[in-house]
Amino acid sequence: MSLAKTVALHTLGCKLNYSETSAITRLLEQDGFEKREFTEVADVYVINTCSVTDNADKECRQLVRRIQRKSPGSIIVITGCYAQLKPEEIASIEGVDLVLGAAEKFKITQHLKDLTKGNSAKICSCDIEFDTSFSLSDRTRSFLKVQDGCNYNCSFCTIPMARGKSRSNSIENIITQVKQLAESGVKEIVLTGINLGDFSPPQTPDRGGLQAQNFFDLIRKLDQAEGPERYRISSIEPNLLSNDIVEFVANSKKFMPHFHIPLQSGSNKILGLMRRRYRKELYADKVHLIKKLMTHCAIGVDVIVGFPGESDEDFKETYDFINHLDISYLHVFTYSERDNTAALQIKPVVPMSVRNERNKMLRNLSYRKQNAFIQQHLSETRKVLFEQRNKNGLMEGYTDNYIKVTASYKEEWVNQIVDWKI
Ligand code: SF4
């Protein structure tokens, strides 16, 4: 192929995918590509897919069709979880030239070198290793991947198939990366992973023996190392959120008072069917401990509604459980069937109309929880990190405890931590 020089990228899915798209962009830029917006014409288009997003295949097909209409001669590359899970299906989409699995996506420049626009797509997918990635689109905040993959087997989830077994970066590498990010001006780093609490870096020799390290070791070392002013922990399973971690965050100046803890259901029966590794009582204990030590702490909760077998009573149990919990906001997901998952065997299936109704009820509850949380902090002065973008004369930022603030744009506040009365 004549060497393509412009590339446009699009991300579907989670924060981890965003940080990986940033890493892929940097690799392509180092190889001489110029980045274009996805809406513009480019020589190469890359779509980083997700297997958790509903209708991943539909979204992917639509994007490919749009590219073909706009720029029929461009190379189209599909990567990410969906590409790892269903490479053949993606390769059969008309217009797709290259399908890169989880390990191959960071070798994209090599793959592009000997590729020509043709009638069939080349599939490259092999074993999955750990690849470093972080996002750096806006210098204020960066999402840094420290762990990938998952050894759990939740019955609804395709991530272990798509991203492989749990693996982690070494603490030494992470310390080097955070130092570099801070030197480039990043003020806040969000530690991300698929199952972050399962962080277990390659073992290092220590006083003659091999020493196993965990997520608690990582945050303690980061707290002492040179790095940004702020850290956030993106999402952590309740059974892996140890009391040590909570107590540490409560006393740290660098780790922000904010946890995101997947609950998925407030019914122990449904948690069992989901093969989650905790019960609601443990979840409630964690929330109580956090709020006892940090009354101002934000707590976000993931919930899935309409899981097979979820009766009206089970849903009510979930609703009441969350309603009584001192949490700050919810991310509500409607259960959707995924190929090759154990949940497909569970009956009865919940009708889609009921799933949608339950989703609406929990979104309303989330709205009330979020408002109540903000009300609790009105008139307080909290530290806000303002971001770069000027949106019609306004700028946005987040407090330490994740309250979004909008202010009149002031250039001197960009990427600064400012005392702000809420
Ligand atoms: S913990 Fe469960 S839901 Fe989360 S990635 Fe692992 S298998 Fe999927």
* Per-residue model confidence as pLDDT tens digits over 328-360: 999 999 999 998 899 999 999 999 999 999 999
Distance 19 CA to ligand 1 centre (A): 19
pLDDT single digits (tens) 163-200: 889 999 999 999 999 999 999 999 999 999 999 999 99
18 confidence band (pLDDT: 50, 70, 90)? confident
Residues 6+ apart with CB under 8 A from 345: none
CA atoms within 13 A on the CB side of 318: 30
Quote the pLDDT of residue 422. 92
Distance from the CA of 150 to the center of ligand 1, in angstroms?
6
Q: How confident is the prediction for the chain on average, in pLDDT?
A: 90
CA of 51 to the centre of ligand 1 (A): 12
Nearest atom in ligand 1 to 194's CA: 5
In short, whether 195's Cβ falls inside 6 Å of ligand 1 is: yes
Q: Is the pLDDT of residue 206 over 70?
A: no
Contact between residue 78 and residue 96 where contact means Cβ atoms under 8 Å apart: yes
Cβ(154) – ligand 1 distance below 6 Å = yes
Nearest CA to ligand 1 atom 2: 154
Pocket-testing residue among 16, 50, 84, 157, ligand 1, by greatest number of atoms within 8 A of Cβ? 157
The listed range with the strongest mean pLDDT (83-87, 92-96, 176-180, 297-301) is 297-301
Please state the atom number of ligand 1 nearest to the C-alpha of residue 276.
2
Please report the pLDDT score of residue 2 as a whole number: 45
Model confidence at 37, pLDDT cuts 50, 70, 90, reads very high
Return the percentage of the chain with pLDDT > 90, whole number. 70
Task: Please report which confidence band the pLDDT of residue 275 belongs to, taking 50, 70 and 90 as the band edges.
Answer: very high
Mean pLDDT of 231-248: 97
Q: What number does the ligand 1 atom closest to the CA of 237 have? A: 1
How large is the average pLDDT for residues 82-101?
A: 85
Instruction: Give, for 178, the enclosing helix (H) or strand (E).
Output: helix 171-183
Q: Give the CA count within 13 Å in the CB-facing half-sphere of 124.
A: 19
**Rounded distance from Cα 153 to ligand 1 centre (Å):** 6
- The Å distance, Cα 407 to ligand 1 centre, comes to 38
Residue whose CA lies nearest to ligand 1 atom number 1: 152
If one compares 124 and 228, the residue with the highest pLDDT of the two is 228
- Token pair in block for residue 187: 């003020």
Q: What is the pLDDT of residue 390?
A: 81
Q: Is 160 in the pocket of ligand 1 (CB under 6 A)?
A: yes
Pair of tokens at residue 181 = 């990010």
pLDDT in the model for residue 205: 57
Please give the helix or strand (H or E) that residue 323 lies within, else none: helix 312-324
Please answer whether residues 159 and 201 qualify as being in contact, where contact means their C-beta atoms are separated by less than 8 angstroms.
no
Residue 209 clears pLDDT 60, i.e. is over it: no
Give the CA count within 13 Å in the CB-facing half-sphere of 131.
24
Residues 78-99 have a mean pLDDT of 86
Minimum CA distance residue for ligand 1 atom 4? 195
Task: Dump pLDDT digits (tens) for 356-388.
Answer: 999 999 999 999 999 999 999 999 999 999 998
Confidence of residue 132 (pLDDT cuts 50, 70, 90): low
The helix (run of H) or strand (run of E) holding residue 217 is: helix 215-224
Distance (Å) from CA 363 to ligand 1 centroid:
22
Is-cis flag, bond preceding 348, omega within 30?
A: yes
